Structure 1
């Protein structure tokens, strides 16, 4: 699996409707912490632990400001977990530890 780029609000809605668990990264191209954590998230997306269980997606808040506003993004990066179409968790910031804890929690619940 890979980290999928969400280019439209419709793509976002389709992904959370289709996939049982989605980790969504709200990022900006100019954001230093976003750039720093992106390779870590990409590695998780390829890992045996997560690749067939969690759908990894990201969207650029500057390209989809209406989605960023709808989700309540206040800073980047913000990570959201959706289960069966519903937002169940979120984390603000690029520290890998809490993001990985979100992944673990999403699989456990």
Structure 2
């Protein structure tokens, strides 16, 4: 599932209120941020892994039932914003460094991670999915 670009606090609130699934990861980044560029392909991969519902795919188990790859597809929506273009959103979330990731469940902030280490981002997702 592609990452949705947002540009304001209002867009985030609309996304959180209308989001299905109810879990949303918000990435704060900036065009000038080298660590943001470095982690971007990994975030794209994670958005595909956790954000895309299986469409008849997956492996077939011995009992003939379909098994979804990863087992967690369709559970998380990923959104991204540039802190220089959405200063109101950056201020509301208290962004002090980028990249920063905020995990929302049912509209409530439940976890966050600041940094560019993919394994720590995956741990955050694993704790909350």
Count of residue pairs the alignment pairs up: 107
- Counterpart in 2 of 1:67? 89
Larger Rg: 2
CA distance in 1, matches of 2:118, 2:17: 26
**1:51 Cα deviation from its structure 2 partner:** 4.4
4+ residue stretches of structure 1 with deviation over 2 A? 48-51
**1:9 Cα deviation from its structure 2 partner:** 2.0
| 3-state DSSP of counterpart to 1:90 | strand
- Counterpart in 2 of 1:97? 119
CA distance in 2, matches of 1:44, 1:24: 13
- Counterpart in 1 of 2:24? 22
Q: Report the TM-score, using the length of structure 1 for normalisation.
A: 0.92
RMSD of aligned alpha carbons: 1.2
Gaps of 5+ in 1: none
Please say if 1:106 is aligned against 2:128. yes
Q: What do the CA deviations read for 1:3-54 (whole angstroms, capped 9, x no partner)? A: 1101222211011122210011000010000000011010111125454110
CA contact (8 A) 1:7 1:59 kept: yes
